[in-house]
Structure 1
Amino acid sequence: MVGKIGTGKSFRGCLNYLFQGRLQGTKEEQQITARQKQVEVIAHNQCFGDRLQLTREFIEVSKLNPKVSKPVFHISVSFAHADAGKLNAQDKADMVERLAKDFGFHNNQYVVIAHRDTGHEHLHVVANRIGYDGKTASDSNSYKRIAAYCRAMELEYGLTKVLSPNKFLRPERRVAQSQRVDQRKETLKRHLSQAVQQCGSVTDVKRYMEQQGYEVELGRGIAFTDVQQVRFKGSQVGYALLDIERKLKQQQQQKQAQPVREKEQTIKPSKGVRI
């Protein structure tokens, strides 16, 4: 059993992704993606309704503490292939109730969503860190806490044991950092490469990335938050704001120089005149 947890700014973006998938391609392709997700709502807590109703309810309660910039808890729990069919819907709801208590949002709004679009069963929990009393559930030590929760659930429900997250393994058992590939970073890097090739300004790059589903923060630097509310600085993938500006300038210079080179190639040298 593997758990991941993160915080984010947008309930709308998170819920749209979980119910509909990435809104890219044609409308028909989007509908196919949504069907492939096989979305099933397992449980609600202090909230109810469809995607749009849930979004409104979460946003309204989050306003009780406007100082919190990231009110979204997005937690995913994945089960091993060997555990397929071991747990029923009530088991999963009970597991999430324990998770909510461990992370202090058991009295807050949360919804539990099951997906079957991959080779293994997994759950998504979207919770409001802001409670009806305006207090905020802590996200400190969340990486260690989710690991401890997974180990406890494996024992309680007789699930397949997995290795603890890399950070908590003994050094000799850790996966070499050079062998690990962060697919989110690779996807972001690929999108940025395409954006720089197709755009003529930083503003155009920002607009292009927003069309790919990213939230873009542009100021003294640049940062991107994907639909799963994972945030990366441009510098983390080799595309700091200065790098993007430099690449755009180089491309512009190359485009301006291209007609000159083509013109020079079309001019044939004149033959000398014999006297």
Structure 2
Amino acid sequence: MIGKVGTGKSFRGVLHYLFEGRRQESKELQMQELEKKQVEVFAYNQCFGTRLELVREMIEVAKLNPDQSKPVFHFSLSFAHSDAGKLGLQDKIDIVEKLAEKFDFKDHQYVVVAHKDTDHEHLHIVANRIGFDGKTASDSNSYKHVAEFARKMELEYNIEKVLSPNKFLKPEQRVARGQRFDNRKEALKKHLQVAVKQSNNVQQVKQYMEQRGYKVELGRGIAFTDAQHVRFKGSQVGYAMMDIEKKIQQEQLLRQQQEQNRQAQLLQKQQEELKKPQQKEKEKQQVHQHTSSIGR
């Protein structure tokens, strides 16, 4: 399980994203985005209603501590492909309740939302860091705590284990993890080298990598997730989007040059073949002339 956490200023922004997806240029595109997200609300705590009602309720409570500029907690919990079907609805709710206890917002407002727009299960939890008593749930060392929480849940629910971020591991664990990380990067890099050589555009690179088990994200940049759910940005292995496009152009120019050289060599060979009969005839004439001069 991969756990992520962030704090923010706007309940309106994060809840709009969770309920309706990224903001689109038109109502039609926004409806398509909403349909793609396949939003499902799993649980409410100390709040209830539509997106707008939730926003209003959470803002009202956040006003109890006006000095706190970031009242929003946003967690995401992602489960591995191999964990599909292992956890029931109640299991997921229980995990969220344990998360709320871990981060001290169990009595605060929060909503749990599931999206089905990816091929692995994941939950989003939006919580109000401000309680009804005006006190704020701490976000100190939150990245470390969410990693520890994920490892604990993996053991408790027998789901796939994922390594914690390197900075939260013991020194001896960091070396082993670093080696595995580097091996994955090298494997990804080798696949990309072949993909670029064989492709005429980025879409063909994407298809090649997907055939080899990678999940490919295309947007302003490019990212790859391997079979062990380890994600790399293309820039981490020297294959950012611009690098890939540049390398493809270079490969195309190289292939064109090689083809031109091949055609030139073929033409030269053909010309040499055409000259052979002429050369033989010339040599024959020279021999005849030489023989005639000797006879005289």
State the TM-score bracket (shorter-chain normalisation).
Answer: 0.5 to 0.7
Q: CA offset at residue 187 of structure 1?
A: 4.8
Q: Which amino acid aligns with 2:101?
A: K
Residue of structure 2 equivalent to 1:124: 124
How many residues are matched?
183
Determine if the alignment matches structure 1 residue 171 to structure 2 residue 175. Answer: yes
- C-alpha offsets along residues 5-28 of structure 1, whole Å, 9 cap, x if unaligned? 000000000000000111123221
The superposition leaves residues 84-122 of structure 1 with CA deviations (integer Å, 9 ceiling, x where unpaired) of 111111111110000000000001000000111111000
- 1:6 is aligned to 6
SS of equivalent to 2:155: helix
Shift of 1:168: 2.8
Tell me the amino acid that sits aligned with residue 116 of structure 2: R
Describe the SS at the equivalent of 1:171: helix
CA shift digits 1:207-248 (9 cap, x unpaired): xxxxxxxxxxxxxxxxxxxxxxxxxxxxxxxxxxxxxxxxxx
TM-score normalised by the chain length of structure 1: 0.63
Distance 2:177 2:148 in 1: 18
TM-score (norm 2): 0.59
* Structure 2: unaligned runs, 5 residues or longer: 189-218, 222-296
Q: Report what 1:239 is aligned to.
A: none
Identity %: 66
The one-letter amino acid paired with 1:73 is: F
Using CA pairs under 8 Å that are at least 6 residues apart, name the structure with larger relative contact order, 1 or 2.
1
**Deviations, residues 156-176 of structure 1 (Å, cap 9, x unaligned):** 111011111232341342346
Distance in structure 2 (CA, Å) of the matches to 1:32 and 1:85: 27
The residue that corresponds to 2:73 in the other structure is 73
SS at match of 2:93: helix
Q: Which runs of 5+ in 1 are unaligned?
A: 181-185, 189-275
Q: Which residue of 2 aligns with 1:40?
A: 40
SS at match of 2:67: coil
2:134 matched residue in structure 1: 134
Q: Are residues 4 and 187 of structure 1, via their aligned partners in 2, closer, same or farther at CA, if it must alter by over 3 Å?
A: farther
- For residues 197-236 of structure 1, the aligned pairs below 5 Å read none
CA RMSD after TM alignment = 2.1
Quick one: distance in 1 between partners of 2:144 and 2:160? 19
Partner of residue 115, structure 1: 115
Deviations 1:113-143, CA, capped at 9 Å, x for gaps? 0111111000000000000000000000101
Q: What is the Cα deviation at residue 29 of structure 1?
A: 1.5
Q: Residue 66 of structure 2 aligns to a residue in which SS?
A: coil
Letter in 1 for 2:29: E
Question: Which residue matches 1:99?
Answer: 99
Larger Rg: 2
Alpha-carbon offset, residue 60 of structure 1: 0.3
Runs of 4+ in 1 over 3 A off after TM superposition: none
Secondary structure class of the residue paired with 1:87: coil
CA–CA distance in 1 between the matches of 2:62 and 2:127? 11
Q: Which has the higher helix share?
A: 2
